[in-house]
Amino acid sequence: MSNEATPSVEPAATEAGTIASYIDHTLLKPEASEADVLKVCAEAAEYGFKSVCVNPIWVKTVKRALKGSGVLTCSVVGFPLGATPTDVKVFEARGAVLDGADEVDMVINIAAARAEDKGALTDDITAVAEAVHAGGAILKVIIETSLLSDGQKALACGAAVEAGADFVKTSTGFNGGGATVEDVALMRRTVGPDLGVKASGGVRSLADAQAMIAAGATRIGASSGIAIVKGEQGSSAY
């Protein structure tokens, strides 16, 4: 389980100069080139972001580029649909960790969440969590809030808790919708104080990020990290 307890949200913790440590600087566009990925890594090192989050093919590249920077390497599993068998997600997660990922963001079986099949959700997440934790990494669980009712969101968060995940995460940014203050607050209430909550999808400004943190987020996933820390308005999604 993560040792990232919910921080007390003081004004200093959400100012542009310190909010960088909440941000997973994200590049998940399928057409991203090696030059694009290296640029994101350089930005993350310059601004002191928490991690760089990329597709699995770029994990080794990111790990090398970030060496000595203190910035973590994050990758995704079952992304962006979540509709792959559990053993495939496990294989993918294990490979990402072996390649150097410190953190893995997995997409749940969204159909199981909509069917309110908590057992299937828990089994899926547990298997991936075991693979990720065996490699010394942490697991964030993407529940894709825009596709779920409030009851289904709570059910998915509950499954993540039971499965031993370290974080729950709002969205991929690819399936319509994104993070909302209401969803972050619901997720925080459901998982309690000990799990991380990651708000991702549509967080494009300092005000957006501050609102998410005030609602209970302990991590922000964004492709607009530089705009956020500069207090500007970022552009579109991942």
Catalytic residue, from 63, 140, 153, 169: name it.
Answer: 169
**Alpha carbon distance 120, 91 (integer Å):** 18
Per the omega criterion (within 30 degrees of 0), is the bond before 80 cis? yes
Q: 16-230 adopts what CATH topology?
A: TIM Barrel (3.20.20)
pLDDT of residue 171: 97
Q: Where are the domains of the chain?
A: 16-230
Percent of the chain with pLDDT over 90: 88
Q: Is 50 a catalytic residue?
A: no
Catalytic residue, from 50, 63, 140, 198: name it.
Answer: 198
| Contact by Cβ (8 Å): 95, 56 | yes
| Contact by Cβ (8 Å): 90, 127 | yes
> Which is more confident, 235 or 114?
114
Catalytic residue, from 102, 105, 166, 183: name it.
Answer: 105
Sign of CA dihedral 13, 27, 101, 175: positive
Tens-place pLDDT, residues 52-106: 999 999 999 999 999 999 999 999 999 999 999 999 999 999 999 999 999 999 9
Structure tokens at 182: 């209401």
Judge whether residue 207 has pLDDT over 70. Answer: yes
Mean pLDDT of the chain: 92
β-strand partners of 104: 75, 139
Q: Is 166 a catalytic residue?
A: no
| DSSP H or E segment with residue 181 | helix 181-191
Tens-place pLDDT, residues 165-186: 999 999 999 988 899 999 999 9
Q: Is 198 a catalytic residue?
A: yes
